[in-house]
Amino acid sequence: MEKGQAQKRIEELRAVLKENSRRYYVDNAPTMSDQEYDFLMHELEELEARFPEFLTPDSPTQKVGSDIDAPMGDNAEPLAGGDFVKRPHRYPMLSLGNTYSIAEVEEFAARADKALEGGFSYCCELKFDGTAICLTYTGGVLSRALTRGDGVIGDDVTENVKRISNIPLKLTGDFPAEFEIRGEILMPYSSFEALNAEREDIGEAPFANPRNAASGSLKLGDPEEVAKRGLWCTLYHIPAQSIPFDTHDEALRKASSWGLPVSSDRKICRDIDEIRHFIDYWDKARHDLPYATDGIVIKINELAAQRALGYTAKSPRWAVAFKFKAEQACTELLSIDYQVGRTGAVTPVANLSPVQLGGTTVKRATLVNADQIASLDIRVGDFVFVEKGGEIIPKITGVNLDRRPSGAVPPAFPEFCPDCGTPLQRQDGEAKWFCPNRGGCPTQIKGRILHFMGRRAMNILAGEATVEQFYDAGLVRRPSDLYRINKYQLLSLEGWQDRAAQRFLDSLALTRNVPFERVLFALGIRFVGESTARDVARHFGNIDSIESASLEQLLEVAEVGDVIARSIYDYMHEAANQEEIERLKEAGLQFAANSGPAALSEALAGKTIVVSGNFSISRDALKELIAAHGGKCASGVSGSTSFLLAGTKPGPEKLQKCSKLGIPVISEQEFRNMLPGSTAVDETQELTLF
């Protein structure tokens, strides 16, 4: 691969990985499996290793995400919690060291025995597969609930947590005046299945797993919607500094007596044999639980011993998590189908001989793309290893070569679109093959219409079956056709009654009130997710300005890089898309921003500001603050940059470029001092929105 091709592919991979991280963590509706995401990440790692001149500190390969730090670079938005107040944890929320090896559990026990010279026990508990939470009770009343965040600062989700049915708002008994207790927010399988059924019914992709569903539900902006999600809480740790008890088990028993939801599935073990027996038991019994678990946590039970062992920088020395190995089955690969997505990407899907895995029957698994088929050397008739782990999407991880039938040959990736017969194309540096027939490929057409109608786009009351019906009846070939359907046409279709037809038309009428940024997202421009659509809409203000924007002007939008800018530019310059936008305008959709952050002043008028690092408020709030005072955000430092607004941990490359170009670098407090009615930032106090 030539250097130019490598650079293009690296930029594309970064854009795809960033967008799918957002879909995974924020939308909780990933468009690719974990395996495909990892495959793309590995491809990016390999390219950056081969072309180190393109490696940057803000690459997805160099960042690890959290509730606070965006994993995709200095200027990327937080993946979650952007609208929540940030507050410091009283005691750091550290992570546990993980192991898949019983031998490493034995080493943990040996280290503890040597350091403590015996005289202690272990408390073994289930490791719940949810999202971490820290509750504070003051005078027996729930006063605060924080997510883990980055371990030091978390998102305040108190109002949402108050809507989780088994979390008591008020305690009973002899509770301390104030204490913290930590645990996990879970989504039981029953709630998960009901939620996914609802999403599929309205044409939205299902959540990938209960863990993502729980995490996303906890971060919803509407507490009443959180109440509908069927979340559950289990608590398992009170920081030893805040309680007067002798053992961890005693603390949990007391917490249970106060009315707190503490898991009873724990056991005091005296030696490694008892620990091993507990692990072996739950490795099988966990499948009968109503929620997901992914391992066993082994803790030193005596709190004095915990204090003696202390902590490393990231983890307590007095605890370790044993992770269950992903469940695996071996089954026959019967055939491979090739499916076309709304963007034209062709994805191979394996049809398997049905096999039981993780309590469900697995019949299909994605194969990601042609490169993965080649990498795994998969052939029809092979017996393949399928894993599920905590995921709903099964993954093929390998081939049992000992059982390969004689004469098996590698599958030939199709040369023509399996839906419309158009020759497939694969651009240099692309991992996927695409059908270029955007306007005539039925699957792409239906996919774009379904995306347009989705809840986070135009929120039209219809799903996949309705789109199929409209397409088959010749009523809809592009989203604007939806606005030309009348009630008589609906009633002529099978299964439609007067009430259903009216509800559909009413939901269609409501789309005329959908704000411009969601309309822009609904158009389905490649690489343009919700947050990118919002940024672009707010930057330009209306569709005409976007259509006339040059590539350079598009690159001035925060978080828009070369790949996304090119995608928007190409979309806006395609005649069919221009015609569709005009038809949607005629239908009455909003193609101009008629509302936004209230104008507070002109203090930043004419200034282009680059933001880098972490701040006391979310990036969304910071961008809105800049816009409300007349300023404009940009993603990269250039000659037109007025100043770099630097928080903690700003990007070193941006600082270097500012130094080279003589561009001022200012702190958050200096920035606030530029604004009318500014206040000091006291980082020892609670962090609130400005």
Residues with a known catalytic role: 127
- What the block records as the tokens of 54 is 């393109």
Cα distances (angstroms) measured from residue 613 to each of 69, 128, 415, 537, 665: 9, 32, 46, 24, 12
Determine contact, residues 455/27, Cβ cutoff 8 Å. no
Helix (H, G, I), strand (E, B) or coil at 382: coil
Dihedral in degrees, nearest 10, Cα atoms 98, 101, 103, 108: 10
Burial class (CB in 10 A: 0-12, 13-18, 19+), 68: buried
Determine contact, residues 414/551, Cβ cutoff 8 Å. no
Chain centre to alpha carbon of residue 649: 23
Angle at 383 between CA 377 and CA 385, to 5 degrees: 80
Helix (H, G, I), strand (E, B) or coil at 179: strand
- What the block records as the tokens of 152 is 């030091």
d(CA 107, CA 328): 27
Least Cα distance to 65 among 4, 22, 129 occurs for: 22
d(CA 362, CA 378): 18
Cα distances (angstroms) measured from residue 75 to each of 79, 164, 459, 649, 650: 12, 34, 30, 11, 9
Half-sphere exposure of 581 (CA within 13 A, CB side): 22
Return left, alpha or beta for 212; rule: phi > 0 is left, psi -120 to 50 is alpha, else beta.
alpha
Determine contact, residues 175/210, Cβ cutoff 8 Å. no
Helix (H, G, I), strand (E, B) or coil at 518: helix
Determine contact, residues 19/529, Cβ cutoff 8 Å. yes
Cα distances (angstroms) measured from residue 608 to each of 89, 151, 512, 639: 35, 33, 33, 10
d(CA 647, CA 248): 39
Query: Helices (H), strands (E): how many in the chain?
Result: 24, 21
Least Cα distance to 301 among 237, 235, 234, 257 occurs for: 237
Neighbour count for residue 391 (Cβ, 10 Å):
17
d(CA 493, CA 510): 23
**What Rg do the C-alpha atoms of the chain give, in angstroms?**
27
| CA pseudo-torsion sign 590, 500, 448, 37 | positive
